[in-house]
Amino acid sequence: MDFDDSPEEIALRAEVRAWLDEHAVRRDPEALAGMRTYRTRTEAEDEALVAEARAWQRTKADSGWAAPSWPAELGGRDLSPLLAGVFAAEEVHYDVVGRMFTVGTDMVGPTLIEWGTDEQRRRHLPRILRADDIWCQLFSEPGAGSDLAGLSTRALRDGDEWVVTGQKVWTTGAHYSDLGILLARTDPDVPKHRGITAIAVDMRAPGVDVRPLRQIDGTIHFNEVFLDEVRVPVADTIGPVGSGWGVALTMLTNERASIGGGSMYSVDQLVQLARESGRLGDPLIRQRLADMYTRDEILRFLGYRVRTAAASGRLPGPESSVMKLAVSARYEVGGDLMLDIEGAAGALMGDDAPYGGRFQDLFMGQWAPRIGGGTDQVQRNIIGERVLGLPGDIRVDKDVAFRDLRRA
């Protein structure tokens, strides 16, 4: 594989930079005082962040940059995943809220393009592009996380409507979302992977109760979502009834590929932190900074592999699992390093901490890529089975009807 930019990529990168220079302010790669972590603690902060992100999303949509890999007739630019990645790689260098609506643009949108009806695409895709509708992912449940196919939320058919009852948890952004893509069990008499259906749910419909989960550092990121006999039109079913597992795999694969689309902090900023903290001369710190640089280079090359797979017409498979695992390790190692550089002050939070606690916020956020889109352990299973050819886990419930499974 040639890792140098092709003439087409060089021209596109110049076009992207010119557009970004015109519409946004470029970040100082070493500045620490103006760093933003996008972790909110109050409803007002949440609303302000969503409004800022929505305004930027609409600016991108006006020029076709909101989802450049989408077909042009759907508001994109018909770019290959490899070329679309040029915009994402450049956008992270500007002071914009650029990755807040990736559930819509990177996950729901491609899923609707593959699985949705013409009417669903006409109704939803333009509103996703402009963030007129914000989407969340209603997958995980208290009893179904890594074993997602064990979900128990049920949808019963009543004429032209589904009646949905159940509970979801760890739903990112549900408290400000307009719509959610829900997995529900519609047939308990077949094995668990085959009785699931994907449905688009109005998050403000009667019977939907969203309860934010405040984390130990005061931020709100996740939510519980309770569904009490929520009525949803059957017309909002995504894909054929019973094909929800395939829809979910499309969503999760795109999620894994999107994780690592841009880092919240750079090695240059960690070097500057070490310099300002008087730790840059410490040989152990310097060695760990070199390790971080190496990890970032590995991620850059893994990103090429994922986008090359997509450009060849394949959904990213094991490649995206390898990349996601590398992203997780990068955030874990980087989170520990930044607080070690700060020394005893790294134990402080908020305004008492150096730089207003920005690095503490980043440290607390390192769990996100390690859980979202499938935990590190799930990714290792995928790599072991699909890349290394190791025997799969023994699945005694593979051919057993969900109704007959023993559940705690």
In the 3-class helix/strand/coil scheme, how is the chain assigned residue by residue?
CCCCCCHHHHHHHHHHHHHHHHHCCECCCCCCCCCCCCCCCCHHHHHHHHHHHHHHHHHHHHCCCCCCCCCHHHCCCCCCHHHHHHHHHHHCCECCCCCCCHHHHHHHHHHHHHHCCHHHHHHHHHHHHCCCCCEEEECCECCECCCHHHCCCEEEEECCEEEEEEEECCCCCHHHCCEEEEEEECCCCCECCCCEEEEEEECCCCCEEEEEEECCCCCEEEEEEEEEEEEEEHHHEECCCCCHHHHHHHHHHHHHHHCCCCCCCCHHHHHHHHHHCCCCCCHHHHHHHHHHHHHHHHHHHHHHHHHHHHHCCCCCCHHHHHHHHHHHHHHHHHHHHHHHHHHHHHHCCHHHCHHHHHHHHHHHHHHHHHHCCCCHHHHHHHHHHHCCCCCCCCCCCCCCEHHHCCCC
- Among this protein's residues, is 30 annotated catalytic? no
Choice among 255, 319, 332, 385 that is catalytic: 255
The Cα–Cα gap between 206 and 222 comes to 21
**Annotated catalytic sites, by residue?**
255
